[in-house]
A = this chain, B = another copy of it.
Amino acid sequence: MASDLALYGYWRSTAAYRVRIALELKGLTWENRPVHLLRDGGEQHGAAFRVLNPQELVPALLDGERVFTQSLAIAEYLDETYPEPPLLPVDPRGRARVRALALTIACDIHPLGNLRVLQQLERQFGATEAQRAEWVRHWMAQGFAAIETLLADNVATGAFCHGDTPGLADICLVPQVYNALRWQLPLDPYPNVQRIHAACTELEAFRTAVPELQPDAPVAG
């Protein structure tokens, strides 16, 4: 068992959340090394973390002495290095579909509502909290609408995004739904998204990875 895996993340980072699910689905033992994104101006901007990731973003995965960044690249690395259970189907068309679903979230929803973007909206345009929420919900609504259509219109959709086992797309979907709930986006228009989210959250790997169970999560009051 690879006990030299260490994940630098933050409890509420949806990108770190994806990697936690991947690690748990693979049944790997890993060490959780929290990086506090808000303390002292953000520990991700400190010299200690910048050595691991010059992008100053979580997550970063340490495997022995090698560091890996970008959650989807990390997930594919884990899938290639620890093949069971697979996170991608075997056929190139299916793999492309799963990757496209994952990238729709990872490129076109998540980065637009990321902490640094909200900070820049405030800095550059004086965006209020309500305006930042409107911004985040705008991109989430657009993205979820597309994903809902891609799920509803394709026979490859099963109990999960692609077939009846969880994979790379589900790993991205569940944290994004978590974020949608946090921002109070109504999910009624997305029944397939809701159904698959519910199926995922019945699995131990997804349950273990939830933000509130991480060591750096605030204690519920």
Contact = CB atoms under 8 A, between A and B. Distances in A.
Interface of A: 53-57, 66, 68-70, 72-74, 76-77, 80-81, 92-93, 95-97, 99-100, 103-104, 106-108, 110-112, 117, 120-121, 124-125, 127, 131, 134-135, 138, 142-143, 145-146, 149-150, 153
Nearest to A110: B107
Contacts of A95: 76-77, 80
Question: How many copies of this kind of chain does the complex include?
Answer: 2
20 contacts: A55-B108, A66-B93, A68-B96, A69-B104, A70-B99, A70-B103, A70-B107, A73-B99, A76-B96, A77-B92, A77-B95, A80-B92, A80-B95, A107-B107, A107-B110, A111-B111, A111-B112, A120-B135, A121-B125, A124-B131
B124 A117 contact: no
A91 to B, nearest CB: 9
